[in-house]
Structure 1
Amino acid sequence: MQQGISSIDRRKMIRYLALSCGLIIPVNSLDAIAAILNSNDLKPCKNSLLNADQLLILRDLSETIIPTTDTPGAIAAGVHDFINVYAPACLDHLEQIQLLTSLDSLAQHSLKHFNKRFIHLSPTEKLDLLNQMEKGNLPFSNTDRTHIKLIKSLVTFAYYTSQIGATQELAYLPIPGGYKGNVKFNKVGRAWALTQ
């Protein structure tokens, strides 16, 4: 008895079919998954770099860098959550250390100079501390100055690649000019030539 497909191949095929059917079912629950991902809970996720305090500092720091104006700011865009997941996956070890060092430095200096945690500072005090760090003025060092550039670049990257940043802050046109596939020749004139 000769068959085109051996029993082992049929078993593999049935296994793959079962796996593919099993993967189709959870697609219906994508709305629930999206709701979980869009929640504004400040709990560090499983693959995160930051602890809860560092995440709060990053949240307020990102809102200081890109504040809410007539468009939503960094908190609304979830910049801090994005960086928390992006950093361990995409930054090298040195950059991760720079990020952590900067957040810890801000925490220490806000306690030392304002006697308050960074998250309890007024927006003006947060901006003042950020400007001092960016200039490398005392008590911050030139190392802090270079580290804050990393945070600012991460915040701007996270914001402008978010849906809020891309559609509400920037002008978004998914297909510039639109696509008109079937246009009468007399409306467009002559056809375009590639060479003369």
Structure 2
Amino acid sequence: MQIEPTALPDVLILTPRRFGDGRGWFTETWNAARMAEAGLDLPWVQDNHSFSAAKGTLRGLHFQSPPRAQHKLVRCSRGAILDVAVDIRAGSPTYGQHVAVELTPENGRQLLVPKGFLHGFVTLMDDTEVQYKCTDLYAPQHDGAVRWDDPALGIDWGTTAPILSDKDARAPLLSQIGTPFRWEAA
């Protein structure tokens, strides 16, 4: 597994090694023992799978607040997405900053989005499927969202008129919600 840092030190790109032959390829998307050796000892408890029919579908920016906060490991298994993580940990030197990474089945990349970060993605192709692991179960009472086009975040999604859920269309600005997360220096 190749592990690459991003501009936000806690957000990582994980690219599993592929073993291929004439039939295709095989890969381990997560190996708990190997990842623990690399300092990523994460207890995955829920796997999610989303399908978006149309290019330009935007899901996010979402978070789950403590005590039910989640790490997420995101990959695209069909189509393509621009996957975005935004630091919303109060006191963090990278507060309000984001990274955007293209995930496709071909590049095999996965984005590790830690607790304390907003997460969202926009589909770059029709018929896109995204799969992600979470370290806590979905808890509706701890579910939160921030507007995808919050000007303070300055995210270039590659579209100005995405397809949104009602929830995402009504999401508040980051300045309107504050943050339930605190940055702790390592």
Q: Would the TM-score normalized by the shorter structure come out above 0.5?
A: no
When Rg is computed on C-alpha atoms for both structures, the one with the higher figure is 1
Flag the structure with higher helix content. 1
The answer to which structure has the higher strand fraction is 2
TM value normalised by structure 1: 0.24
